[in-house]
Structure formats: structure tokens, C-alpha cells
Structure 1
Amino acid sequence: MKGVIFAPLDSVDDALARALDAAGLPTDDLHEPGRAFFRLSDDAGAIGFVGIEGIGVDRLLRSLVVLPRRRRQGFGALLVNHAEASARQDGTERLHLLTQTSSDFFHAHGYRRAERSSAPASIGSTAQFTSLCPASAAYLVKDLA
């Protein structure tokens, strides 16, 4: 897509928090260490956001949100692709995520369903797994290698 910019956020800003809150996604732990958030934008302004949490070979893909007026234009896939590329550059071998509403979207992008009990300790101990996302959320994994 021409003219889009994928850029890291220097800090969590109000636009990210508002977008996540409006989408019903967790915001309680945004300011904790070990999180990197990215904004996708173009000449018309912000399009959406995505985050990666953790260090090491297993990391959490989180906080994917496309602003309502920009949905259904392929930007969600673009955000995921950019986040995966960034994670891969940092040495990530697998991305993990929890979702209540977007399993089909992530399946279409190569994520497979897994049992929550199979999550590595570095993922299973995150706030997303332990308290922020309900037990009913689907756990998905993608190998980036």
C-alpha cells in the first residue's frame, strides 16, 4: 500500500490507549517494561497500532487494532506483517497471541491454535495470559523461522 508508514512509538500515547479501549482491548499494562508498540499511518493520519511484548525467541503479538474508519482495507494484515518482520529482526522465532474475536483473521495469516497449557513460561506468565484476557480467549502461535 502506497504512502503508509510503519513506525515505532517512542512511548505509549493517548491515541493508542483510546484505540485499544474503544476496541475493548486491554490497556492496564501498556506502560510496563518489555513492550514495543508501532503505529501505521498515512497522509490521512493514524490507521492502526500493534504491539510486541517480551524478549527472547518467544514473544507476544498484542494490541492489534485498526481504527474503525480504516477497517476492511487490508491494514490489519499490513500491521501483522510489519510486526512479524520487526520481531524476526529482533530474533523472535515464534509469536503467540490471545484473541476472543479474530481467530479466523489470524488463522488466515498462518497462526495455529494451541492449548494454553503449552505456552512457554515467558508467555504464560504475562499479564495477558494471567489476568487481562479471559480463559475463553483462543491461544494462537506462529513460527516465524
Structure 2
Amino acid sequence: MHMTELSNEELEPLRQALILAGLPVDDLNQPGRRFFSFRQADAQTAFGGIEGEGADRLLRSLVVLEGQRGRGIGAAMLVALEDFAKNEGVERLHLLTDSAAAFFVAQGYQALDRSLAPMSISETAQFKSLCPASATYLSKGLI
């Protein structure tokens, strides 16, 4: 799997994939977000990103394209993003999900009460307004 960082001018395919998946797109161009395109055998397969600075960061906008699902792409993308984060000095990744909690638990993430999120995570737009209060909060240590 090949991972390429997207510039702000290259976000439209990600935006469209997120809209089709019913995921938030309102803050994609805001500072502090890094999004990536994932390809296999010259085919676009997925997108994902990381938000924030410091030891705790938020996984963002993970989406495997329709027709590419069920082939392990999500797990491979997650490993690539975790490796990228480790190389950036990230100690813990966090995320919110409405529908994929079981997938992330199977990848070593732990469901936690939202009140346990560090302030750098709980103050993000994802926590404050973009994701519903019913979304599951998960976290994983990388070290």
C-alpha cells in the first residue's frame, strides 16, 4: 500500500469519499490536519488523516472506498497511519466513530468514556461539534 500526503488543493477526492460515507467534511481545510491518500496497484483505495500536535493526536476521516472494502485495506491503512504517527513522536491516538468501534477494538483500540480524553483532543471540532455525542471514543497507546 502506498501512502501519499495530500495538499489542501488535493482534498476534493477525500471530501467526496467522506460525503458518500456520511462522514464530516466541514473542517478539512483547517490548520493542524494532515490527510493521506492510499493506493494499491495504481488504484485509489482509501483516505485517512491525523489532527493535532504533540503526544496525543486524533485519527481523522478514515474511509475505504466503496468496492475496496472487506479486503484488509482499512487495517493496512491504520497500521500505516500509526507508523507515521510514531515517527512524528505521537504517544497515543484517539478517535470518534459512529459505526466502526468493533473494527478499532480489534486493532487494539480501547473504548473509553469521553470525559477521559485529554484536553488537546476534547477541544477539537470533532469532539465539540462535528461528531454526535453518541459516537464512541477510542484510544490506543503507540509506545
Normalized against structure 1, the TM-score is what? Answer: 0.95
> Corresponding residue for 1:6?
3
Query: Which residue identity does 1:143 align to in structure 2?
Result: G
Query: Which residue identity does 1:124 align to in structure 2?
Result: S
The answer for unaligned runs of 5 or more in structure 1 is none
The total of aligned residue pairs comes to 142
What CA distance in whole angstroms lies between the structure 1 residues aligned with 2:42 and 2:81?
21
The answer for unaligned runs of 5 or more in structure 2 is none
**Alpha-carbon deviation of 1:45?**
2.2
> Corresponding residue for 2:14?
16
> Corresponding residue for 2:64?
66
> Corresponding residue for 1:37?
35
> Corresponding residue for 1:139?
137
**Alpha-carbon deviation of 1:48?**
0.4
Query: Which residue identity does 1:10 align to in structure 2?
Result: S
**Alpha-carbon deviation of 1:18?**
0.2
Percent of aligned pairs sharing the same letter: 51
**Alpha-carbon deviation of 1:17?**
0.2
Asked whether 1:119 is paired with 2:124, we answer: no
Query: Which residue identity does 1:117 align to in structure 2?
Result: S
> Corresponding residue for 2:23?
25
**Alpha-carbon deviation of 1:44?**
4.2
**Alpha-carbon deviation of 1:127?**
0.2
What CA distance in whole angstroms lies between the structure 2 residues aligned with 1:131 and 1:53?
15
Normalized against structure 2, the TM-score is what? Answer: 0.96
> After TM superposition, what 4+ stretches of structure 1 lie above 2 angstroms from structure 2?
42-45
Q: What's the RMSD between the two structures over aligned residues?
A: 0.9
